[in-house]
Amino acid sequence: GLPPYDDGNIFARILRGEIPAKKVHEDDHALAFHDIAPQAPVHVLVIPKGRYVSVADFAAQASPEEIAGFWRAVAKVAKDLGLEEPGYRVLMNMGAHGGQEVPHYHVHLFGGRPLGRMVP
Ligand code: 5GP
Candidate from 9, 16, 18, 45 with most ligand 1 atoms within 8 A of CB, to mutate: 45
Mean pLDDT in order along the chain per 10 residues (120 residues) = 91 98 98 98 98 97 98 98 98 95 98 92
Write the CATH number of the domain with boundaries 10-111.
Answer: 3.30.428.10
Domain extents in the chain = 10-111
Q: What is the ipTM of this complex?
A: 0.99
Q: DSSP string of 24-93?
A: EEE-SSEEEEE-SS-SSSEEEEEEESS--SSHHHHHHHS-HHHHHHHHHHHHHHHHHTT-TTT--EEE--
pLDDT for residue 96 = 93
Q: Is the CB of 20 under 6 A from ligand 1?
A: no
